[in-house]
């Protein structure tokens, strides 16, 4: 008997793989739309919100921020300037090399980033409708796709 299930191959993906790719694209588009709206509610651009979120994880030098955001360092400088003027970010000497400045989120910046994250609506209800086992399976599948252990 011949199997009717096809296995994905990198040159000719099967219809299930193509459908999953389309669904991932739709999820990404909706997430970005929701993220931009949430940022605007906090009077931030999407780029400002992403930079602020990164700085809530750790202070970073401008060049590393630019690499993480996939943009030019001069763009990052402008974004940091605007966030600094609002009291959300501050420049500090790098403890490892005092000649280098790092950008760091202020306590107000961390509060705004947390509020922004909490205001993201997309996927909250659909994810809440999944069982814990389904959410774990989804998380594990996404980690697998990203190569994150």
Domain contains 26: no
Question: According to the model, what pLDDT value does residue 3 have?
Answer: 46
Beta strands in 20-131 (DSSP E): 60-61, 89-94, 97-105
Q: 83 with 105: CB under 8 angstroms?
A: no
Domain contains 20: no
Domain contains 56: yes
What are the tokens at 95? 């403890």
In this structure, what CATH number is given to the domain that contains residue 75? Answer: 1.10.10.10
| Range of the structural domain that residue 139 is part of | 37-146
Using CA atoms in the order 146, 49, 127, 145, what is the torsion angle rounded to 10 degrees?
A: -10
Question: According to the model, what pLDDT value does residue 100 have?
Answer: 86
Domain contains 141: yes
Domain contains 1: no
Domain contains 113: yes
Question: According to the model, what pLDDT value does residue 7 have?
Answer: 56
Name which of 32, 52, 54 is nearest 42 in CA terms.
Answer: 52
Question: According to the model, what pLDDT value does residue 24 have?
Answer: 92
Distances (CA, A) of 136 to 60, 117, 127: 31, 21, 11
Question: According to the model, what pLDDT value does residue 47 have?
Answer: 93
Domain contains 4: no
- Mention every residue, 6+ apart, whose C-beta is less than 8 A from residue 61: 94, 100, 101, 102, 103
Q: 41 with 119: CB under 8 angstroms?
A: yes
Query: From first to last of its 149 residues, what are the pLDDT tens digits of the chain?
Result: 544 555 555 678 899 999 999 999 999 999 899 999 999 999 999 999 999 999 999 999 999 999 999 999 899 999 999 999 999 999 999 888 888 889 999 999 999 999 999 988 887 878 888 999 999 999 999 999 999 87
Question: According to the model, what pLDDT value does residue 124 have?
Answer: 80
Element (H, E) at 103: strand 97-105
Backbone angles phi, psi at 111, to 5 degrees: -65, -45
- Looking at the structure of the chain, the number of domains it has is 1
């Amino acid at each position: 008997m011949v199997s009717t299930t096809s296995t994905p191959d990198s040159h000719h993906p099967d219809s299930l793989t193509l459908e999953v790719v389309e669904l991932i694209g739709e999820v990404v588009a909706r997430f970005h739309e929701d993220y931009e709206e949430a940022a605007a509610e906090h009077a931030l651009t999407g780029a400002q919100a992403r930079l602020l979120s990164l700085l809530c994880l750790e202070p970073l030098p401008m060049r590393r921020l630019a690499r993480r955001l996939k943009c030019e360092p001069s763009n990052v400088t402008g974004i940091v300037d605007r966030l600094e003027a609002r009291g959300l970010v501050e420049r500090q000497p790098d403890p490892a090399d005092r000649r280098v400045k790092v950008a760091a989120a202020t306590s107000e910046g961390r509060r705004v980033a947390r509020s922004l994250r909490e205001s993201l609506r997309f996927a909250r209800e659909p994810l809440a409708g999944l069982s814990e086992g389904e959410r774990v399976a989804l998380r594990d599948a996404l980690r697998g796709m990203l190569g994150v252990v």
